[in-house]
Amino acid sequence: MAENGSRVKVTRSFDTLIVEFADRKILDELCIAEIQDELVRLVDGTPDVKLILSFGNVEHLSSAALGMLITLNKKVHGKSGALKLCDIKPQILEVFNITRLNKMFDIQPDLAAAKAGFQA
Amino acid sequence: MSDERTSPDIYDPATDPPLTDLVVCSDLVAAKQPEEVIISQIEQFGYSEDAVFGIKLALEEAMTNAVRHGNRHDASKRIRVRYAVSPRRVIIFVADEGAGFCPEEVPDPTAPENIERPNGRGIMLINAYMTRVSYNAAGNEVRMMKANERWAP
């Protein structure tokens, strides 16, 4: 967890919000619920949000984390925004592939590609 | 909790080490303890990073299912984890105190009508990452085995 107790680090790049996870493992429900709360508040406060989630620090996640991403994705689209995921390690990407969620999410190889996608 | 025999392709008392027994209470913090113990043993035997990743994930999903579905978040209920780790394979049983369920009746989370649901993927991931999975007759114990693809007799 970051020093201020936040589970995510948020930076702004023009009109895009880039979120990095502070935790290497997004497994347990308590952690996931806190991440979800932070991200939902972020989305609620940003009309037409362009959101990039960077998984660079993430080494493990559980199906509950996938559920959180699905809920977030719906929220973002409900607010006429867009969500991209990037920097997902191969082992984690395999979890998305197995559950067919690679088709639901816009997954980019890295942050540069995700940002470029929002400029296009 | 059931002690009925399991198929030797999952656990064979003749060739696998004896099962170690751990009991934890049904809260999501206590449910992490077995992972620490089991993974530290597995890492001593040269399992691949992919295998360790898969075992961690399957165990996490099995424990979450036991807490959430089996024991319904009742912290007074227990989860019994039995495991055996050897260079050849890892065996993990997770039992809860619930009434059990029917694995065949779990809907396919990849079906179009289910794909947007936030839940329902735990069993699919257990099946994907473990070599063999079975259940006791009551359906309240999952029995998982992961073979070490690096092991040669």
The reply to whether residue A28 touches residue B56, judged by beta carbons under 8 angstroms, is: no
Mean pLDDT lowest among A8-22, A23-37, B14-28, B136-150: A23-37
Beta strand segments in chain A, E: 8-13, 16-21, 25-26, 50-54, 60-61, 82-86, 106-108
Q: Could you tell me the pTM of the whole model?
A: 0.93
Residue B44: what are its φ and ψ, rounded to 5°?
A: -75, -15
Helix or strand (DSSP H, E) at B85: strand B78-85
Query: If you ran DSSP here, which 8-state letter would residue B130 be given?
Result: S
Identify the CATH number of the domain in which residue B109 sits. 3.30.565.10
* Number of domains chain B contains: 1
Mutation target for B interface from A39, A62, A73, A91: give the one with most B CBs within 10 A: A62
Instruction: Flag whether pLDDT at B2 surpasses 80.
Output: no
CATH class of A8-108: alpha beta
Whether the predicted pLDDT of A41 surpasses 50: yes
Q: Report the C-alpha gap between B133 and B135 in whole angstroms.
A: 7
Mean pLDDT, residues B127-131 taken together: 98
What are the extents of the domains in chain A? 8-108
- Residue B56 covered by a domain: yes
Decide if pLDDT at B9 tops 60.
yes
Question: Has residue B127 been placed in a domain?
Answer: yes
CA B118 to chain centre: 21
Q: Give the residue from B57, B59, B108, B123 with the most A CB atoms within 10 Å of its CB, the best one to mutate.
A: B57
pLDDT for res A114:
96
Q: What is the pLDDT of residue A89?
A: 96
Q: What is the pLDDT of residue B3?
A: 60
| Contact residues, chain A, for B57 at CB < 8 Å | 60, 62, 95
Interatomic CA distance for residues A98 and B58, integer angstroms: 13
Digit-coded pLDDT (tens) for B44-87: 998 999 999 999 999 999 999 999 999 998 989 999 999 999 99
Q: Is residue B108 assigned to a domain?
A: yes
Question: Where in the sequence is the domain holding B57, given as residue range(s)?
Answer: 20-147
Which chain B residues contact residue A32 at CB under 8 A? none
**Rounded CA separation B138/A77 (Å):** 42
